Amino acid sequence: MPNTLQAIEYAQAIRTWCKENLPFDESVVAYDLLILLAIKFAKNERVSVKQIFVLLPHSYTAVRQHYMRLIKDGWIECVGDGEDKRIKYIVPTKKFTDTINQYAKLLLAIPPPV
């Protein structure tokens, strides 16, 4: 049972850290958006605004609300494609990158299950 307790305590610590550092306000939609963007950025993949609405299994309205908040609060920026003016890409700000790197370090510090 000690491993179970330790795992639950780690889960609680991660949840507390997320509430204090990530802009997701207990919303699964916002968390899914953050994680999708973090994965795309870590892979150095370009992600268009249109893609986030296609890739996330949430309503357009919910995704748009959280996407707009991330822009307003300085987590991401939207930049145009140099050739096709219809395409807009999402890029991380330093705030996004620094915070996601801290989150990754926290997760990597968790010892593997025994």
CATH number of 30's domain = 1.10.10.10
- Residues, the chain: 114
Min mean pLDDT across 11-15, 22-26, 34-38, 57-61 is at: 22-26
Q: What percent of the chain has pLDDT over 90?
A: 65
Domain of residue 65: give its range: 2-108
Q: What is the mean pLDDT of the chain?
A: 90
More confident of the two residues 47 and 5: 47
CA pair distance 53, 90, nearest whole angstrom:
12
**Domain for residue 18, yes or no?**
yes
**Domain for residue 66, yes or no?**
yes
Cα angle for residues 93, 99, 104 (degrees, 5° grid): 125
**Domain for residue 113, yes or no?**
no
**Domain for residue 64, yes or no?**
yes
Domain count, the chain: 1
More confident of the two residues 109 and 100: 100
**Domain for residue 83, yes or no?**
yes
pTM: 0.86
